[in-house]
Amino acid sequence: MPQQYRVSLTAAERRDLSAITRRGNHPARTISRARALLLTDRRLADAEVATALGVHARTIQRLRRRACEVGVRAALEDRPRPGGTPKLDGPQEAMLVALACSDPPTGRSHWTMQLLAERLVELEVVESISDETVRRTLKKTSSSPGANSSGVFRR
């Protein structure tokens, strides 16, 4: 099958891609893409390039297409990935941590994730939040009242 997108690298692009493959200070995906572009510039078939790099031939087709449409440098980089916005920003996270480190409500021996989530809503820090979001947020912080605790239970 004839290739619809042909990669023709300039001498400068070849030199840059070779430098990326020789120096190990780039992400592995970038190095793999640089190798693929160098091999496709030699007019090797997609299947040969894919076998040499341990990827699927469709991956090589997409890389060639991207290199032709947006340029070699842009083809080396990951495209932005969709993702949700964070539920808590910096000040809200700080409020959560401060709350978790404070004394628990009257009648309770410690904070639970659900109690923390409910208190954040009561204090109008957030409109709504799940206990799982509270747990994940506290897990990524290093502030913990106990040496080996999850960040909310006092010893």
Binning pLDDT at 50, 70 and 90, where does residue 3 land?
low
pTM (two decimals): 0.56
- Render pLDDT for 27-53 as a digit per residue (tens, 0 to 9): 999 999 999 999 999 988 999 999 999
End-to-end CA distance of the chain: 68
Clarify whether residues 31 and 55 are in a common domain. yes
Clarify whether residues 22 and 63 are in a common domain. yes
Q: Tell me how far apart the alpha carbons of residues 100 and 115 are, in angstroms, rounded to a whole number.
A: 10
Residue 85 vs residue 17, higher pLDDT = 17
Percentages helix, strand, coil for the chain (3-state, rounded to 5) are 55, 0, 45
pLDDT (0 to 100) of residue 151: 53
* 83 within a domain of the structure (yes/no): no
* 82 within a domain of the structure (yes/no): no
> If you search the block for the tokens 């009257």, which residue do you land on?
106
Host domain of residue 96: 90-139
For the chain, the domain total comes to 2
7 burial type by CB count under 10 A (0-12 exposed, 13-18 middle, 19+ buried): buried
Residue 149 vs residue 69, higher pLDDT = 69
Arithmetic mean of pLDDT, 21-29: 87
- Render pLDDT for 62-103 as a digit per residue (tens, 0 to 9): 999 999 999 999 999 988 888 888 889 989 999 999 999 999
pLDDT (0 to 100) of residue 81: 83
* 17 within a domain of the structure (yes/no): yes
Clarify whether residues 15 and 69 are in a common domain. yes
